[in-house]
Structure 1
Amino acid sequence: MPKHLFPLTVLCLALSACSTLTSPFSSGGVPSSQGVAPYREQVELTGRLNVVYQKGDKPESATVNFNWQQTAQRTDVTLYSPVGSTLATIAVTPQEAVLEQSGKAPRSAPDIDALSAQMLGWPLPVSGLRDWLQGYAMGADGKRFVASPANDSVTTKDGWRLRYVSWQDASENTPGALPQPRRIDAERNTSAQADAVSLRIVLDPAPSVPAP
């Protein structure tokens, strides 16, 4: 089986969210001078993810398309192969995380972080993606980070280095709209080479809004 489709556990968890779904960025908007669009508790996103990691002493990689839906109390992710077949579905609530792969019984845990650690044995930013995908993060200094084209990189509190490489062309879709992330690179290196992980996330453009 081609490497770019497997292991499914890698693909399934790379886009999961944490079981604690509330965000420190959800109350109030962000001033326009900050650049990024205000945080939204309810959002639907689609895109592609590439993950590079170490397996033994060799680098491995996988690529997957995804549909991401979140509300204040739930995250649902569907992962697809490059040819469009469903690889896995993920549902995360404050009570539990459930991961289901095609042809296999669902697996659950109190939170997705515990489930990913059990299945993968190396770190993934499952707790941060609800914020990162919208241009937000908790910085290493304990302060909130709000990304913009002029302020595009940060090291998070849990050691991930984020860089917002490119942005949606908001003016094409909604006149006056603030920018939203297009491509996000994330990398985490640890003292153990086997724990090194890098992600490249490319979000699809938002649907165009017809002119009045």
Structure 2
Amino acid sequence: MTATRLIASAALAAAFLSGCATAPRTPLSTTAVAPYVDKLELAGNLSVNYVRDGKRETLSGKFTWRQDGSRTDVELASPLGQTIATIAVTPGEAVLTEGNKPPVSAPDVDALTARVLGWPLPVAGLRDWLQGYAMAESGQRFAASPARNQLTTRDGWQLEFVAWQDDATPPKPRRIDARRGAGGDVENIEIRIVVLERTDR
């Protein structure tokens, strides 16, 4: 692991153990998730656990998410709010900037995050997941609800929409757990996302 990644790991390593573990479960409802929107801003916490070269790695920190039509901007930060990496996605190109390093670009954002960060952040899937939608293993579009909150995606992620925003009608996800087994250099990856602030427009 590079020195930069070690610093990022240490910087990201504490916030989530408190912020994610206590996300409350909303009482079950059969109401479908809120309609999909093109403009969305989120802020929250992100924790990642995975096995690489037989060693368990754990990262935790903050994130912001801005989605406007086909463009997505993501910022990953330490628990204290220091920016660690930014990701900008437009049709056909993704650009990731890590610290003071030169930007790195690629056509596939998920492959780019796996290569640069050392673990796969499924940005393409999160455009749907953060709103309670996903492409199911069958190829059909899935709309979650508090009573229908688990599925396996077409690209092998096991999703659980664990908690929902208390004041949102129809429901909007508050906590999402994503898991995937072996894949590339990383095995048994678990990602937990907790949304703390949300703006739908």
TM-score class normalised by the smaller sequence: 0.7 to 0.9
* Identical counterparts, % of pairs: 51
Determine if the alignment matches structure 1 residue 167 to structure 2 residue 159: no
Gaps spanning 5+ residues in structure 2: where?
12-29
Q: Partner residue of 1:127? A: 124
Determine if the alignment matches structure 1 residue 41 to structure 2 residue 34: no
The structure with more strand, counted as a fraction of residues: 2
Task: Output one character per residue of 1:27-59: Cα deviation in whole Å (capped at 9) or x when no partner.
Answer: xxxxxx642110011100011110001121111
- Of structures 1 and 2, the one scoring higher in RCO (CA 8 A, sep 6+) is 2
Larger Rg: 1
| RMSD of aligned Cα (Å) | 2.6
Q: Partner residue of 2:8? A: 5
Task: Output one character per residue of 1:67-95: Cα deviation in whole Å (capped at 9) or x when no partner.
Answer: 10011121011121101111121111003
Determine if the alignment matches structure 1 residue 154 to structure 2 residue 148: no
Determine if the alignment matches structure 1 residue 61 to structure 2 residue 58: yes
Q: Partner residue of 1:144? A: 141
Q: Partner residue of 2:179? A: 187
Aligned to 1:127, the other structure's residue is in SS state helix
How many Å separate the matches in 2 of 1:57 and 1:169? 40
How many Å separate the matches in 1 of 2:7 and 2:115? 22
Aligned to 1:190, the other structure's residue is in SS state coil
1:104–1:155: structure 2 CA closer, same or farther, 3 Å change rule? same
TM-score w.r.t. the length of structure 1 is 0.75
Does structure 2 retain, via aligned residues, the 8 Å contact 1:45–1:204? yes
Q: Partner residue of 1:81? A: 78
1:191–1:129: structure 2 CA closer, same or farther, 3 Å change rule? closer
The number of residue pairs the alignment matches comes to 179
Gaps spanning 5+ residues in structure 1: where?
9-32, 172-176, 208-212
